Amino acid sequence: MPANGKNGALTWILGLLTLFAVVNVINALIQLNLSGGGALTYFSLFNTTFGSINTETYFWASAMAMLLLFTATCFSIYRGLPLDPSLLQRITKVEETLASNSNMVENTQIGFFKKLEDSEKLHEEAFHRISTNLEETRKEVSDSLTKQSTALQNMEKETGKSADNVKKQATDLSKIKKSLEQLESTKNEKPKVNGQTKLEDFKNVPSNLANKLSHIKITNVSELLATDSTSIAERTGELPENIAHLQAQAQLLMVPGIDEKHSELLVKCGVTSQRELANQDPVQLYRGVVGIAKTYAEQGKLPQSKVPTLEEVSSWIKQASS
């Protein structure tokens, strides 16, 4: 093939590649304006993807390829043509146009990056304002919640104190009411025995002893109390201390509120008459009676319900004094 034919084919190929390079430069400029310099561009051919590249890199690579191909095309044309002054003049104009286009591209890039920098600055300022407002709002909400929490804690404390006071007052009132009821019931209660109570109705007197006492003309409580315990013991064959305990229980059972078990507890504590009972200290007597009562309860001799309370012991002393 002649040299001119070869140069012509090469020139056409270089021209076509230069055209593709120009199209790529235009495509890169469009993607820079739409997506920014940080976006990625994917290369594909016939639905086949060959890879990806940064848009800004893609632009500069396309621009460099365009310049190189354009230079190669011009050099090919220059070699294939005679040195014609008019052709040289045209080439010079083309180079000037290319330089102008290069300046335009550079100016476009500078303007784009300036806009991008201004936009980022505006975004940073807006983000800073939003962050400042959010921090102030968070602080206000936190302070408000702290105040409300403190107020609720104070309210809970006051409510707890009020509830404790009400509960304590209710307990005290319940105790007072119970004491009053016990005193009232004791006041209206009749003694378990009196002077006319028959010995067979006196539960603390065994039946065989009641028979012996009836033989010596002792048939009721008054006669039992009026007779000397030693004399009764001699005539019945019983121990004097047993007769004395029986007489002491009879005296104590004449006090309203005292039953057979209670009279036995009092005798065990050394209280043998109403006068002795009236002179007792309520707390001291209560301690002595309850100590013996708990022992009896553990041994099964006394139900737990029969263990007297301090109010009951105080009531006995009061009834014995009246």
pLDDT category of residue 176 using cuts at 50, 70 and 90: low
pTM metric for this prediction: 0.43
- Alpha-carbon gap, residue 105 to 25, rounded angstroms: 9
Q: Could you read off the pLDDT of 81-119 as tens digits, one per residue?
A: 554 567 567 778 877 888 887 788 788 878 777 887 887
Q: Could you read off the pLDDT of 35-44 as tens digits, one per residue?
A: 766 666 665 5
- The average pLDDT across 21-47 equals 70
Which phi and psi (to 5°) does residue 49 adopt?
-95, 130
The more confidently predicted of residues 53 and 319 is 319
**Which one-letter amino acid corresponds to residue 276?**
E
Q: What is the pLDDT of residue 177?
A: 59
**Which one-letter amino acid corresponds to residue 151?**
A
User: Roughly what angle, to the nearest 10 degrees, separates helices 282-299 and 260-268?
Assistant: 110
Q: Could you read off the pLDDT of 219-260 as tens digits, one per residue?
A: 888 888 888 989 888 888 888 888 888 888 888 888 888 888
Domain ranges of the chain: 3-133, 190-321
Query: Cα 12 to chain center, whole Å?
Result: 84
- Alpha-carbon gap, residue 246 to 80, rounded angstroms: 157
Q: 217: which residues sit within 8 A by CB, 6+ positions away?
A: 223
- What DSSP designation does 84 have? -
Q: What is the pLDDT of residue 45?
A: 45
- The average pLDDT across 141-168 equals 80
**pLDDT, averaged across the chain:** 79
